[in-house]
Amino acid sequence: MTPDRRGWLKGLAASGAGLWLAACDKLNESAGVQKGLASAQGLTLRAQRLFQSRKALAQEFTPADIARDFRANGSISPGDPAYRQLLTTGFKAYRLVIDGLVDHPLTLSLADLRAQPSRTQITRHDCVEGWSSIGQWKGARLGPLLDRAGLKREARYLVFHCFDSLEETLDGSGQYYESIDLIDGYHPQTILAYEMNGQVLPVAHGAPLRLRVERHLGYKHAKYISRIEAVADFAHLGQGKGGYWEDRGYEWYGGI
């Protein structure tokens, strides 16, 4: 992957994000513009898959580049009772569930996850709001965990169910969730992070476990993960768009 080509892809994503922020009210009112954005999302996905190897790495940095104050964004301390109970015991009772379209459902403690093949990476987090920050992340590689679970042939996506409810709704649509496809699930930089900058992952940044999927914008990096579900599609979840923010107008792919 050449620097010019990667810069072009980043510029494409950044331009789309800027247009979104500048005219979000009008976008909500215009079916034509919404259709155009959907087309742009498809272009970004196709361009990234065409010009990049499926294993091409996002840029990594040095310890000297790590931001002194990495901004915590979105939900920073879930109030959900199940989460607060886990927090009071230092997440000793926490268990990550990996299920859905798998042959061998998994239930993993933090100790189990720390014993899995891991990766440490220093990468830049790019938020759709227009800011970026560099941090170091360590976590279990997702690919080997998927192999342990044994994905069924019909599995196409991974849904990350999270502890935090951003809204109180009767139908459960306020619960945060996110999804990626299997290509990104098996990417070498896709990890379930339990450390940040050499320390235990802070609550504000998603403790006890958050997704790092480095070739995507920040809203794809789900925090407070409770369960990973392998699915054939996500039409039955939320509004059927593949994520909490996607249900509210953001694009699903969010690639950089």
Give 117's DSSP letter. Answer: -
Q: What is the pLDDT of residue 5?
A: 45
Q: What is the pLDDT of residue 174?
A: 85
pLDDT of residue 188: 97
pLDDT tens for the chain, 256 residues long, are: 444 444 444 444 444 444 433 333 443 444 543 454 455 566 666 666 665 667 789 999 999 999 999 999 889 999 999 999 999 999 999 999 999 999 999 999 999 999 999 999 999 999 999 999 999 999 999 999 999 999 999 999 999 999 999 887 656 668 999 999 999 999 999 999 999 999 999 999 999 999 999 999 999 999 999 999 999 999 999 999 999 999 999 999 998 8
> What distance in Å separates the CA atoms of residue 31 and residue 43, rounded to the nearest whole number?
19
- Give dist(CA 157, CA 183) in Å, integer: 9
pLDDT at 33 (0 to 100): 39
Taking the C-alpha atoms of residue 125 and residue 131, their distance in angstroms, rounded to an integer, is 8
Angle at the Cα of 216 from the Cα atoms of 94 and 135, rounded to 5 degrees: 65
pTM of the model: 0.82
CB atoms within 10 A of CB 97: 15
Is residue 140 helix, strand or coil? strand
pLDDT at site 76? 94
Predicted local confidence at residue 167, as pLDDT: 81
Q: How many CA atoms lie within 13 A of 192 on its CB side?
A: 30
Q: How confident is the model at residue 144, as a pLDDT?
A: 98
Cβ neighbours for 46, distance < 8 A, ≥ 6 positions apart: none
pLDDT at 256: 82
